[in-house]
Homo-oligomer: A and B are copies of this chain.
Amino acid sequence: MIAVYGMSASGNCHKVRLTLDLLGRRCEWIETDSAAGQTRTPAFLTLSPAGRVPLLVRDDGQVLAESNAILCWLADGTTLLPADAWQRAQVLSWMFFEQYSHEPYVAVARFICGWLPDDSPRREELPRLHARGREALAVMERHLAEHTWFGAPSLSVADLALYAYTHCAGDGGIGLDDFPGVLGWLSRMQAVPGIIPMPPPPGLRNTD
């Protein structure tokens, strides 16, 4: 059986859990609190050179890092990753978009609001993070004006990757009311059996 080191309240980890659940794959989930330094211990750093969760470990001890690479490996050969090369590339395109243009803003805003104290100087980053996060949501909104899902004709790992931090963008103070297409897509996602919201951050404050 595979093992996954993950933090349940992290979107990058939650997307791995959702993929496992949708595929009906069992795993040993090893809760690992990166906010408390558990990914920076010498033992963890020998497993994961970048010191990050999620981290997948196979029975033979081989490891796989990076959430979206884990999703692709789990989904390989299933309906969650298209067999057609062009569609698969489109799915990958949205997954790279998620990690480059979405997560660094939407997830980081949520981290600042949900984990750091009210007087953290990092709160000064929020206006910029909100602006860039809204730019990413606007790109999604334009795509959803003409498509039902991201990158494939049916639900794929691109949707799971983008769902992770989009459905809780409000945790970081980014409201979704201006993005009706995104809200409709979230409703379609949440109608899929197995798609569940992520647990809230420990210090969630209502910043909307």
Contact = CB atoms under 8 A, between A and B. Distances in A.
A155 interface: no
A142 B142 CA distance: 41
A66 B104 contact: no
Contacts of A70: 89
Nearest to A145: B49
Interface string A120-153: 0000000000000000000100110000000000
A101 interface: yes
A86 to B, nearest CB: 7
Contact of A64 (B62, B64, B89, B142): B89
Interface in A66-100: 66-70, 72-73, 76-77, 85-86, 88-90, 92-93, 95-97, 99-100
A65 interface: yes
Among the interface residues A73, A90, A96, which one has the most CB atoms of the partner chain B within 10 A?
A96
A67 B97 CA distance: 10
A95 B77 CA distance: 21
A95 B99 CA distance: 11
A72 to B, nearest CB: 6
Given A76-B85, A76-B89, A104-B104, 10 more contacts: A49-B142, A64-B86, A68-B92, A69-B89, A69-B92, A72-B92, A73-B86, A73-B89, A77-B85, A99-B100
18 contacts: A50-B139, A62-B86, A64-B93, A66-B92, A66-B100, A68-B92, A69-B92, A69-B96, A70-B89, A72-B92, A73-B85, A76-B89, A77-B85, A95-B96, A96-B96, A96-B99, A99-B100, A100-B104
